[in-house]
A and B are shown apart, each in its own frame.
Chain A
Amino acid sequence: MTHSSFLQDELKIVEQIDGDQVVLKLNGALSVTTVPYFRQAVQPFIDRKLAAIVLDFEGVTKIVSRGVGAAIDMAVQAKKQGGKLRLENVGKYGRSLYIQGVHLVAEVPELEGFEP
């Protein structure tokens, strides 16, 4: 694989802290390129042992399994710290998240009662 600056995926994360909870609005692609940044951006909130970390997927334009794997890892870490990870506005990505078992470790309101 080679790199191309003008084709490279981008991800921006905007944080909104509200008491013991943070909402992280994801805008862009959750891809191989952006997963390291995704992990790096969320990790401080896991380490702070917040009660809830909310990932808002409304602005997500693409996901790959590595990105979903990273979200699973964050959910497991948050749970071990006594907190929880919640995914909101997953929309069309719900089925892919379900297949990878995200709902088993994180709260995903849209997947409650989901039948693939």
Chain B
Amino acid sequence: MSEKPLELRISVPPVEGIEDIPIAAIEMLAVKMGFSPDAVQDVVQALTEALVNAILYSTSDFDVEVAVFAAQNSLIVEVRDRGSGFDVDSVPPPDFDLISEIGVKNGGFGIHMIKALVDKVEIESTDQGTTVRMSKFLSIPKTILQS
């Protein structure tokens, strides 16, 4: 097998509930790459958050695009939407003292969750759309898809 990273692309329409399809594919890929069950769940949860947001905030019928780059020691997943974007720096970390007092009336802390679950997160957002790039690294590389 080539040393070149495996590249996979999946496009889904911005339809509620469809995120489970690319998530299932990437979950299986992460398992085959040798990630631990906890690390696989981290990828699944981070991807769930990114895809749900991409679908939820899509303002057109353009597909949400998922690009996956799998190498021997890393799994990189990009989620791109064509929504109206957001100011990445305007999303504060959760204030747990305040939350303990007043609760959470709307939404959650998806960006915070993504940042905590994967090893590296890059977010680019403009009024033409948002790309969330998440990287998870294997501590013990395994030759992918050879098992």
B interface, by DSSP: helix, strand, loop or mixed?
Answer: helix
Query: Is A4 within 8 A of B18, CB to CB?
Result: yes
Q: Assuming the A-B contacts A1-B56, A1-B58, A92-B41, are A8 and B108 also in contact, with contact meaning beta carbons closer than 8 angstroms in the complex?
A: no
Query: Is B94 within 8 A of A2, CB to CB?
Result: no
Tell me how far the C-beta of B126 lies from the nearest C-beta in chain A, rounded to whole angstroms: 20
A93 vs B45: C-alpha distance in the bound complex, in angstroms? 9
Asked if B105 is at the interface (CB within 8 A of a chain A CB), the reply is yes
Residues 56-85 of chain B, each 1 if its beta carbon lies under 8 Å from chain A, else 0:
111001000000000000000000000000
Asked if B38 is at the interface (CB within 8 A of a chain A CB), the reply is yes
A22 vs B117: C-alpha distance in the bound complex, in angstroms? 32
- Which of under 10, 10 to 19, 20 to 34, or 35 or more describes the interface residues of B? 35 or more
Tell me how far the C-beta of B16 lies from the nearest C-beta in chain A, rounded to whole angstroms: 5
A66 to chain B: which residues have CB within 8 Å? Answer: 106-108, 110
Query: Is B117 within 8 A of A32, CB to CB?
Result: no
Asked if B92 is at the interface (CB within 8 A of a chain A CB), the reply is no
Binds B, one of A11-19, A50-58, A97-105: A97-105
Residues in B lying within 8 Å of A, measured CB to CB: 13-18, 20, 37-38, 41-42, 45, 48-49, 52, 55-58, 61, 94, 96, 99-110, 112-113, 116-117
